Amino acid sequence: MVQVSRLGELKSPTRTLARSDDYVEYCRQTAKHARDLHDLALRGRHLKEVTKAICQSIAEEVSLGPGDDLVDIGCGDGTLLRIAHQLGVNSAIGLLATDEEVALVRRTGLDVRQALAHQLTLPDECASVVVCNNVLLIVPREKIHASLREICRIAKTNARIYIGEIPSAPPKDPTPQFATSREALSYMHEKHGLRTWLGLLRRMIWSQITGQPLTISPGTAISFFATSEEFSALAGAAGMQVVRQWPHEHYGGRKNYLLRKAS
């Protein structure tokens, strides 16, 4: 996120810019400017097939099928919910961080609701399958214990619990710290093209005219990572046991976990 508050900053590109990595706000902005539903999966527009392949393998991993009550925490564009319905599940509920995302996915007829991982607004033991893929890595570390406890709380006894894409080590954030507005503009042009560059320039000018601070969120920082030993211990403290763990097929350095409630 970059803050620019005066037109002077555009003319004098030496001022320091501030940045924020509030991921919920990033999800809200993504939904507001989405051109395609798949934008909500936050993988990049050209990776729709990867999202499909990942959700397909999650469905297989948890043996999703008729009679299951699925809760998909952070369901993105709803791909896994659609696969679940094709497999004849009893119910499939998706949770999203913001009302803006909910409004877009709900239009496709799916049952989606707003909730954050550490405060799931669902009853105890309502799910035979709980999935939380590519979500905990963007949840602030101080909310991880509460999030794991919530996942455990909504899972029925013997539920299959899938938590995916947990980085084992802190990944390098690809977005640099921008020292000036010019640097931010040049980076956006190089990485995201003319449309994003123009959008940022327009917002910079608008913030000068209105005097309101400009907020830019790159959405690339990782909040949570854990070695498999750490993650197993965190899951254990929240009442779950790791059944199996394996490296992610598409993203090196990330692991997937299959868990169950500890008896």
Ligand X SMILES: C[S@@+](CC[C@H](N)C(=O)[O-])C[C@H]1O[C@@H](n2cnc3c(N)ncnc32)[C@H](O)[C@@H]1O
Q: Which of 2, 10, 17, 23 binds ligand X (CB under 6 A)?
A: 23
CA–CA separation, 241 and 234 (whole Å): 10
**Residue 139 in contact with ligand X, rule: CB under 6 A:** yes
Q: Which of 51, 168, 175, 207 binds ligand X (CB under 6 A)?
A: 51
Contact segment (CB under 6 A) with ligand X among 72-80, 170-178, 183-191, 212-220 equals 72-80
Contact segment (CB under 6 A) with ligand X among 4-12, 135-143, 177-185, 202-210 equals 135-143
3-state secondary structure of 5: coil
Ramachandran region of residue 160, left (φ > 0), alpha (ψ -120 to 50) or beta?
beta
**Residue 103 in contact with ligand X, rule: CB under 6 A:** no
| β-bridge mates for residue 127, sequence order | 155
Q: Which of 1, 17, 117, 188 binds ligand X (CB under 6 A)?
A: 117
Contacts (Cβ under 8 Å, ≥6 apart) of 137 = 165, 166, 167, 222, 223, 224, 225, 254
**Residue 74 in contact with ligand X, rule: CB under 6 A:** yes
**Residue 97 in contact with ligand X, rule: CB under 6 A:** yes
Query: Look-up: residue for tokens 């996915």?
Result: 105
**Residue 83 in contact with ligand X, rule: CB under 6 A:** no
**How many CA atoms does the CB half-sphere of 23 hold within 13 Å?**
20
Q: Which of 4, 37, 69, 133 binds ligand X (CB under 6 A)?
A: 133
End-to-end CA distance of the chain: 44
**Nearest distance from C-beta of residue 222 to ligand X, angstroms:** 11
Q: What is the Cα gyration radius of the chain?
A: 20
**Residue 150 in contact with ligand X, rule: CB under 6 A:** no
Residue 134 or 168 having the CB closest to ligand X? 134
Work out the number of other CB atoms within 10 angstroms of the CB of residue 48.
Answer: 17
Asked if 168 and 255 count as a contact pair (C-beta separation under 8 A), the reply is yes
φ and ψ at 230, to 5 degrees? -60, -45
**Residue 27 in contact with ligand X, rule: CB under 6 A:** yes
**Nearest distance from C-beta of residue 74 to ligand X, angstroms:** 3
Residues in 163-202 that interact with ligand X by CB under 6 A: none
Q: Which of 41, 89, 151, 242 binds ligand X (CB under 6 A)?
A: 41
Residue 64 or 73 having the CB closest to ligand X? 73
**Residue 116 in contact with ligand X, rule: CB under 6 A:** yes
Residue 16 or 56 having the CB closest to ligand X? 56
Q: Residue 184: which of 161, 217, 230 has the closest Cα?
A: 217
CA–CA separation, 193 and 204 (whole Å): 17
The contact set with ligand X (CB under 6 A) reads 23-24, 27, 40-42, 51, 54, 73-76, 96-97, 101, 116-117, 133-135, 138-139
